[in-house]
Amino acid sequence: MGAVTIDVAVDTPDQPRVWMVAPDADLPDGLSWSALTGAGFTGAAGTVHVVAAETPLVLAGTGATPTLDDWRDAAGLGSRAASPHTDLAVRLPDDVTADVVRAVVEGTLLARYRYDALRAQAQGHRITRLTVVTGAAHDETAAAAGLGVASAGATALARDLANSPHNHLTAARFARIAVDLGAEVGLEVEVWEQQRCRDERLGGLLAINAGSDEEARFVRLRYVPSGAPTGRLALVGKGIMYDSGGIGLKPNNDSHAQMKNDMSGAAAVLAAMLALPATGGTAEVVGYLMCTDNMPSATAAALGDVARGRSGRTIEIVNTDAEGRVVMSDAFTLAVEDGVDAIVDIATLTGSVARAFGSLLSGITGSDDELVATLTAAANASGERVAPVPLEHRYRPQLSSPVADLRNLGPAGQPDGIISALFLHEFTEGLPWAHLDIAGTAWSTVDAGWQTPGCTGVGARTLLVAAGGFTA
């Protein structure tokens, strides 16, 4: 996100200001509701009013009984209306809660995000200084604002990584970024290069990498809290740097168009874990990033090939485009070997879930109701909504193969959002597990509120909340 200076104050008259206002709320000096309603602004959610003044002043309507999502959206709208100012004060009511402070800071910062890494001239006007103005308790407000900066920063990093084109972000470079950024905040980072992946029998990862000129990378990140850990959680991220479909090439340009972001799961895991030290996560968290592209060539995995993964089980690759579950299965086995208490994975896994739930809802499922509920609550608190996918075990026979222990895809017409999850479930060895399928939500065409077009960075905030407070 770049550095953001956060202040908390009771009043800052000399900064450009965004006032978050419900209908009939207190107004800045010189304004009245009768004049504003006359001008068409009532404080309704989704509306803003720009007051012409020497120091820019924006009123952002929250509606009468705003939800957390309403607060974040309103903050995003207000922040946009105050652009290009990068030094802002946001005025909140005195009875504001910590969750609202956090959501408003997130919305304010994320609304200004642009992917500018490859432009000569930046288009985004990222906030550099933000003053939260409220009469609410100073220390609580400052702490909540700090969380907001950390979580918005995590999302912005995940967006940057996912937006990076394939020719700018190879698996090897992704691993180097993890090493460099991890060192800055004190995470342990371990990278397995190609030969080590072979030595360690990561047969799923290597089968998908077989067609590529770029080497695969396995990255393991570890966050250790300062006190006794409240639990040990594994976060597994799908890191397909580009998904061409493999030798069974995707059929048209439209189906290729977003596939640079097929590493959005790995980006979310990395971004969330980098924020754990600053936000004081209480659990030990181990991240597993499975990085490779999925390319067609004479050396690529062919249809019907059988790979043997780290678990020792064999996988018949009946479709080279169902690659995510194959690379992730090795990570599940590593997590089990590491003795974690639970596994959470995140992946742009299936068109099935994207078609079922669209761009506003990720699919969530898993083997443990409590863990799924924890993830769901974290997602809702983060504005990253989820919808349940049933883990219907009666579909399990669809994964049986005539030649191997498993096949990587059910027969045509079967519900792949469910079947892909059943495939991953095979590798959990009974550990509590929750699964986020973000195929539909990792990309946005919306350019409004705190959402920006292109890669969304979805999952980074959810994982930060859920992993930081994980309790075994």
Tokens of 107: 């919305």
Beta-bridge mates of residue 235: 287, 344
Torsion of CA 34, 38, 43, 44, to 10 degrees: 140
Is 201 an annotated catalytic residue?
Answer: no
Between helix 138-163 and helix 264-279 the angle, nearest 10°, is 160
CB of 211 closer than 8 Å to CB of 294: yes
Q: Return the amino acid letter for 18.
A: V
Contact mark string toward Zn ion, 218..257, x via CB under 5 A: ----------------------x--x--------------
Three-state secondary structure call for residue 34: helix
Pick the closer one to ligand BES by CB: 73 or 323.
323
**Closest distance to ligand BES from the beta carbon of 108 (Å):** 29
Pick the closer one to Zn ion by CB: 155 or 244.
244
321 binds Mn ion (CB under 5 A): yes
* Stretch near Zn ion under the rule CB under 5 A, chosen from 122-130, 154-162, 323-331, 395-403: 323-331
Give, as ranges, the residues between 299 and 358 that touch ligand BES (CB under 6 A). Answer: 319, 321-324, 348-352, 354
409 binds ligand BES (CB under 6 A): yes
Q: Which helix (H) or strand (E) holds 48?
A: strand 48-51
Q: Considering CB distances under 5 to 8 angstroms, the limit depending on partner class, which of ligand BES, Zn ion, Mn ion, none binds residue 439? A: ligand BES
Please name which of 368, 356, 370 lies closest in space to residue 433, comparing C-alpha atoms: 368
Give, as ranges, the residues between 251 and 310 that touch ligand BES (CB under 6 A). Answer: 258, 262
Pick the closer one to ligand BES by CB: 135 or 304.
304
Is 260 an annotated catalytic residue?
Answer: no
Contact mark string toward Mn ion, 238..257, x via CB under 5 A: -----x--------------
* Stretch near Mn ion under the rule CB under 5 A, chosen from 81-89, 113-121, 237-245, 451-459: 237-245
Pick the closer one to Zn ion by CB: 248 or 324.
324
From 201, 250, 308, 313, the catalytic residue: 250
Pick the closer one to Mn ion by CB: 229 or 246.
246
Give the angle 276-280-281 at the CA atoms, nearest 5°: 60
Please name which of 470, 466, 452, 469 lies closest in space to residue 158, comparing C-alpha atoms: 452
324 binds Zn ion (CB under 5 A): yes
Q: Considering CB distances under 5 to 8 angstroms, the limit depending on partner class, which of Mn ion, Zn ion, ligand BES, none binds residue 292? A: none
Q: Considering CB distances under 5 to 8 angstroms, the limit depending on partner class, which of Mn ion, Zn ion, ligand BES, none binds residue 83? A: none
Q: Return the amino acid letter for 269.
A: V
* Side-chain half-sphere CA neighbours of 25 within 13 A: 25
Pick the closer one to Zn ion by CB: 324 or 468.
324
Q: Which residue minimizes CB distance to ligand BES?
A: 351
What is the number of other CB atoms lying within 10 angstroms of the CB of residue 296? 17
**Which residues are designated catalytic?**
250, 325
